């Protein structure tokens, strides 16, 4: 038998032996090896000490009200959860739930694809031009209107003059 300390597998064998969990057929050759290998003997002795030390570590007793607290929490959860899920329970229990979910997704996808494309609304250019007018441009426009008005007035009064001459 090769020295078990040389491989992880072999060490696992020694660990199992130290904890008394090694099968009978593996124990016999290992014990024969231990008689001649001081390294493995040392390993087994120190590992057995660790095992006994861990054995001495007892956990404290469980609180008397552990179950009561747990069931109280379960009841709280169940009450609001039940209220929420009660209408859907038959659906959840049904084996056809995945099929129904898939059908729902397909219908939703169909509805979304069928909708007309939305054209983004662009503001009319005219309003942009109005917004772009400067005060001096307005002043010029008013001046021009006044000039036209004066010109019209002049044109209307001019044919009357020859009549007056006559």
Partner 1 sequence: MDERVKTDMGATAAALDYDAELMLRVRDGDGASFGVLLDKHRLSVIHFLYRMVQNHAVAEELAQEVFLRVYRSRSTYEPTAKFTTWLFRIATHLALNALRDGKHEKSQERLDDASGDLPVRQVSDKRPTVEASMVYESRLEEVRKAVATLPEKQRAAVLMHKYQDMEYSQIARVLNCSESAVKSLLFRAYESLRARLAHMA
DSSP 115: S
3-state secondary structure of 124: coil
Query: What's the min distance (Å) between Cβ of 104 and partner 1?
Result: 20
Q: Does 82 help bind partner 1 (rule: CB under 8 A)?
A: no
Q: Does 56 help bind partner 1 (rule: CB under 8 A)?
A: yes
Kindly report the number of other CB atoms within 10 A of residue 47's CB atom.
16
Distance CA 150, CA 97 (A): 86
Among 23, 24, 38, 53, binds partner 1 (CB under 8 A): 53
By beta-carbon proximity to partner 1, the closer residue of 52 and 156 is: 52
Find tokens 């469980």 and name the residue: 62
Query: What's the min distance (Å) between Cβ of 108 and partner 1?
Result: 24
Q: Does 161 help bind partner 1 (rule: CB under 8 A)?
A: no
- The token pair at 73 is 């929490």
- Torsion region of 6: left, alpha or beta (phi above 0 gives left; psi -120 to 50 gives alpha): alpha
Site string for partner 1, 91-130 (x = CB under 8 A): -x--------------------------------------
Q: Does 166 help bind partner 1 (rule: CB under 8 A)?
A: no
Q: Does 68 help bind partner 1 (rule: CB under 8 A)?
A: no
Among 50, 97, 103, 106, binds partner 1 (CB under 8 A): 50
Among 3, 6, 19, 141, binds partner 1 (CB under 8 A): 19
The beta strands (E) that lie in the chain are given as: none
Buried b / exposed e across 37-46, counting CB within 10 Å, b at 16+? beebeebbee
Among 26, 28, 31, 73, binds partner 1 (CB under 8 A): 73
- The token pair at 146 is 């006044």
Q: Does 28 help bind partner 1 (rule: CB under 8 A)?
A: no
- The token pair at 72 is 């109280």
By beta-carbon proximity to partner 1, the closer residue of 53 and 128 is: 53
């Amino acid at each position: 038998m090769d020295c078990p300390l040389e491989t992880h597998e072999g060490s696992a064998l020694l660990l199992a032996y130290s904890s008394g969990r090694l099968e009978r057929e593996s124990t016999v050759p290992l014990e024969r090896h231990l008689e001649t290998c001081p390294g493995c003997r040392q390993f087994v002795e120190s590992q057995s000490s660790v095992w006994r030390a861990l054995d001495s570590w007892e956990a404290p007793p469980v609180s008397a009200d552990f179950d009561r607290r747990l069931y109280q929490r379960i009841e709280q959860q169940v009450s609001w959860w039940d209220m929420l899920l009660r209408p859907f329970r038959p659906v959840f229990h049904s084996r056809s739930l995945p099929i129904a979910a898939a059908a729902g997704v397909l219908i939703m996808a169909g509805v979304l694809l069928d909708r007309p494309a939305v054209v983004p609304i662009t503001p009319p250019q005219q309003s942009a031009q109005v917004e772009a007018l400067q005060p001096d441009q307005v002043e010029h426009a008013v001046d021009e209107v006044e000039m036209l008005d004066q010109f019209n007035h002049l044109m209307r009064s001019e044919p009357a003059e020859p009549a007056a001459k006559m």
